[in-house]
Chain A
C-alpha cells in the first residue's frame, strides 16, 4: 500500500489545463518529458515544456500509404499514432556501445555512460505499451540483456492515453493490445469533453498525481471514462485472425503466389521496419579517427529489407524483394511466436500507413490465407 500519494487502481479527474501541473511536476522530479507535437507534418513524440505545444484540436487521417493532419474539435488526444514510437527513445536509432583508445601500444576500452536523464512520456497508446512489452521480452528477458535499453526502460515514466478514436489502419483489438490501456502505465488518461480522468497504474504514478490539483471520481464518472476506449473499439475497421491461425497459415504455404504480387509493389524501402514499434534488428559499426588511435563502436537500426541484412560469407541470402518481404511478414507474425512466445505485431497500423505503396498487412494476410490457385 502507498504510504504517500494516491492508491494504485483509483480514478481521479483533473481539469484539462491542470495537465500542465503534471508536466511541471515530472520536470521537477528530473524527468525529460516527451509528448506529442506537430513536427514535419506529423504528430510525433518530442520534448515538451508546455501543454500549449501539444496538437490540441488536431487529428490524423490514416489510410494505406496516406497520413494527413487536419483540425477538428478541441481535444488534446484525438490524434492516433504517428510514425515514431517509444522504440526511438528506448532503443535509439544510433547508440554508442564502446570506445577504444590506443595508448602506448595497448588498448583502453570504455563503455559509454548510461543516459543522463530518465524519460517521462505523455500520450503513449495501449498498442505502444504492448510493443514495449515485446521489446522487453527480446532485449531484457533473453539470455543477454541490453544494458543501454535496460537503463532507459527501468527509469521510464508512462502517462498513457486510452484511445478515443481509432485510425482506419488500426487493428489493436484483434491483437489484444488495445484500445484500452490495461497494464504498463504509471498513469492512464481518458479524455472527456470537459475534463480528463486519470487512472493510477503504479505507486510512482500515484505520488506524481497527488502533487497536482485533482478531484475524486464518482462511480458514474469512472464508468463514463471507461466507455471512451470501448466506443473506439467499436469503430475499428481492420482485424487480423487469431495469433495461432495466422502463424499456421503463413507457415503452411511459404511459396504462396501472392508473395509475387506483393514483391511487384514493395520497394524494399524499409519504412515498415523503421516505423514498426517492435522491429529490433540492429547492426554494429566500428569507425576510427584518421590517426587510427580512437575507435567508436555504434549500434545502428537495421532492416531485413536491405541487401546486407542477410549477407554472409557466400553473399546475400535473401536476394529478392519477395524473399525479404516474406522474411519480414513470417518472422513478425509466425516464427516470432516460436522464438519469443508472442506475436511481433501489436496492430498499430504504422506499417500500413507509412508504406509508400500502401501494402496492407491485414489485406496481405487475408490474401495469403486464401486458397492457392
Chain B
C-alpha cells in the first residue's frame, strides 16, 4: 500500500478521479531497484505490472548469436511489464534497471479484479495501457524503418508514380 500522493504525481494516474486513485493505491507497492539489476526476464511469467517513478529502465531482447540488445528506455510515469495484465505473461522483453529506480508495482490479477468491479476505472486503465502499447508500436516501427533502410534506397523510396 502506498500513499495516494505518490500516485497523483505520476502521468499514468493523472486525470483519474480521487476515489479510483485511492483504490489503486490500496493494491500498489513501492519498490526500490538498484542500477544493473534485472526486473524481469524475457519469457518469464510475471505477477506484477510496474510504473516507473524515478530512474530509467532498459528493455532488452535476446538475439541468437548477438546476446541482449537494448530496444528502448522507459522513464518516469511509464508502464512496464504490461504482459502480466493481458495474458498473464510471458514477458515479451527483459527489463534491466539502467539507473537506480523507484517503481510502483501493482499485482496484475488484483488490478484486473478492480477493473472488473469498477468498469469505468477499468476503461481508464485499459485506455492508458493501449496508449502505452501504441507508443511502443511507434518505436517498433521506427526501428523497422531503421532495419530496412538499406533495402529501400532513397531513390527507390522517393520514386513511384509521381
Contacts and interface: CB of A to CB of B under 8 A. Distances in A.
Contact of A216 (B28, B88, B108, B114): B114
Contacts of A11: 110, 113
Interface string B1-32: 10000000000000000000001001111000
A112 interface: no
A74 to B, nearest CB: 27
Interface centre among B87, B110, B112 (most CB of A within 10 A): B110
Contact of A219 (B87, B109, B110, B116): B110
B63 to A, nearest CB: 28
Given A1-B88, A6-B116, A210-B116, A216 B27 contact: yes
B113 A7 contact: yes
Consensus secondary structure, chain B interface: helix
A218 B1 contact: yes
A5 B110 CA distance: 13
A215 B86 CA distance: 21
B117 interface: yes
Contacts of B26: 218-220
A219 B107 contact: yes
B88 A219 contact: no
A223 to B, nearest CB: 9
A101 interface: no
A328 interface: no
Contacts of B28: 219
A280 B113 CA distance: 40
A217 interface: yes
Contacts of A219: 1, 26-29, 107, 110
Contact of A6 (B27, B47, B113): B113
A10 B29 contact: no
Consensus secondary structure, chain A interface: loop
Nearest to A220: B1
A214 interface: yes
A26 to B, nearest CB: 20
Nearest to B88: A1
A226 to B, nearest CB: 13
A222 B27 CA distance: 9
Interface string B110-146: 1011101110000000000000000000000000000
A178 B113 CA distance: 27
Contact of B110 (A1, A210, A222): A222
Interface string A199-218: 01000000000100011111
Contacts of B117: 12, 214-216
Contacts of A200: 109
Contacts of B110: 10-11, 216-217, 219, 222
B75 to A, nearest CB: 25
A216 B113 contact: yes
A8 interface: yes
B33 to A, nearest CB: 19
Nearest to B23: A216
Interface of A: 1, 5-12, 200, 210, 214-220, 222
25 contacts: A7-B88, A7-B108, A7-B112, A8-B109, A9-B109, A11-B113, A12-B117, A210-B116, A215-B117, A216-B23, A216-B27, A216-B110, A216-B114, A216-B117, A217-B27, A217-B110, A217-B113, A218-B1, A218-B26, A219-B26, A219-B27, A219-B110, A220-B1, A222-B107, A222-B110
Interface of B: 1, 23, 26-29, 47, 86-88, 107-110, 112-114, 116-118
Top 4 nearest A-B pairs by Cβ distance? A218-B26, A10-B109, A10-B113, A9-B109
